[in-house]
Amino acid sequence: MNIISWKDLLLPLALLLFTACSSSKKIGSPASPTPRTLPELPASEIDIPVRIAAAPILDKAEKVVPAEFTSEGWPNFIQPSCDFRYKYRFVRSALQIACKNNILNIHFSGNYQVGGSKSLCTAGIPVTPWISGSCGFPPQPLRKVNMGLQTSLQFLPDYRIRSSTGITGIQAIDKCQVSVFSTDITQLVMDSIRSSLQTFTAGMDQTIAGLNFSKFIQQARDSSFRKVALGKYGYILLNPAAVRIGQLNYVNDSFAISFGLSCRPLLTSDRVNHNALPAAFPPLLQTDSRSGIKLYLNMLYDYTFLTRLLRDSLHNRVFEVKGRTIVVKDAVISGTDNNQISIRIDFAGSNHGSIYLKGTPVLDTAKQTLGIPDLSYSLEGEDLALKIARSLFRNKIRKTIQGKSYLDIADLVNANRAVVEQQMNREIIKGVFSYGKLKEAKMIGLLATKENLEVQLFIAADLTITTGNL
């Protein structure tokens, strides 16, 4: 969590004594007592539009869709009757596509040539030589035809894809009249081409139906319902409740679709997974295209984990206080029975001793400030200077500490905004890019218990994923 790190939240509490300033600022008392439990958060809704460059897909489609359709046995003839035989060849142009709401249309034109022969038959046997004619063969130009295919896509709850592909039209621009017989065989040729295309589309639908995503779904289930390490920030449990996919569209030379997730994420310091894996991943829902991230995040950290973070931040840090050198040697944070936290800091240097800080964390959600209005301290040590300080400057130290016992979360978010958005706008893996903007980040809940510090965050953002050069 780079937006508000534990270092950012803990250090102001730990450094209160060493960062005194001339002015003080206090947080007002909360309107109501600190709750013993935090309210349940709404489900997080994550919807990410994905744009896929069409050029690589079209290149593959060009290789899959035959560039040439010919009569069986070409360049030999097909003989449907005793007295007639023919042959044809069709060469298509580049594919042109359009897609709206899962309906994919493929258009292409082409050129064709036809040859035919006739004979006289008696008792089913040719008795005269074959007399041939043709169109579209040199020196004649090739004849022109336009064709179209349409595929309807359906994303099924079990993560399979169903397609239904049909021929939307075969239109001969130039009719093919075999010159010797003045016979128009255009329809015969078009019917033959249609039959070849139907064989191809049936095979394409079978291929799509056979796509198997079970391995991907298994991996998604295993990672979503088990805690995944987030470096030094603990472990996240995603807890997905629903998975959705938007409508497929073709826009500005790219395919556009959205992927969505409803979940209740939990960020913890505990690596033990207490949730048993469900029997199945949530079914895939077909929805309208959506975008936007509304993330409600529960964060639950035990004090042992927080102590480790605090030690990592403070150990051997040196502070200059009124010409004296203070070196932090250790730090411990713990909880109490009455919703307070306690911090002990051991120091050396010009003086040796320990400082104990205790107070109730109070969150002002409207002002986005975190305060400890009842912060108290205890300074312990055998140095004479410390004993004198405790006696003579007790009130001054207390006021100084209380004056610094707040954290402006809004300022903290703004200070980290550029870093967060830098992570949102980058190449994720080779050829895959993310583009995003942080719209809002705020703390909406805080509760210190004896065992844990509970924090609730809300994050709103926009994020788009693209592939290829868009």
419: closest CA among 442, 439, 444, 438? 438
In the block, residue with structure tokens 């600022």: 25
Phi and psi dihedrals of 345, rounded to 5?
-120, 120
Q: What is the pLDDT of residue 231?
A: 80
Q: How far is CA 39 from CA 35, 275, 341, in A?
A: 9, 21, 21
The pTM assigned to this predicted structure is 0.77
Residue type, 28: G
Q: What is the pLDDT of residue 10?
A: 47
Q: What is the pLDDT of residue 274?
A: 64
In the block, residue with structure tokens 């104990």: 356
DSSP state of 109: E
Q: Tell me the two tokens of residue 351.
A: 């003086």
Q: What is the pLDDT of residue 443?
A: 93
The β-bridge partners of 334 are 342
Residues 6+ apart with CB under 8 A from 453: 300, 301, 303, 306, 335, 341, 361, 446, 447
Task: Say how far apart CA 262 and CA 209 lie, in whole Å.
Answer: 27
Q: What is the pLDDT of residue 22?
A: 27
Q: What is the pLDDT of residue 386?
A: 55
Q: What is the pLDDT of residue 258?
A: 96
Q: What is the pLDDT of residue 6?
A: 44
DSSP state of 382: S
Residues (pLDDT < 50) of the chain are: 1-32, 388, 391-393, 396-397, 401
In the block, residue with structure tokens 């150990």: 315
The domain segmentation of the chain, as residue ranges, is 6-51+215-411, 74-209
Q: What is the pLDDT of residue 395?
A: 54
Residue type, 60: K
Q: What is the pLDDT of residue 180?
A: 56
Task: Say how far apart CA 284 and CA 391 lie, in whole Å.
Answer: 68
Tens digits of residue pLDDT in 83-133: 888 888 889 899 999 999 999 999 989 898 888 888 889 888 888 888 888
H-only helix segments in 2-82: 6-14, 54-64
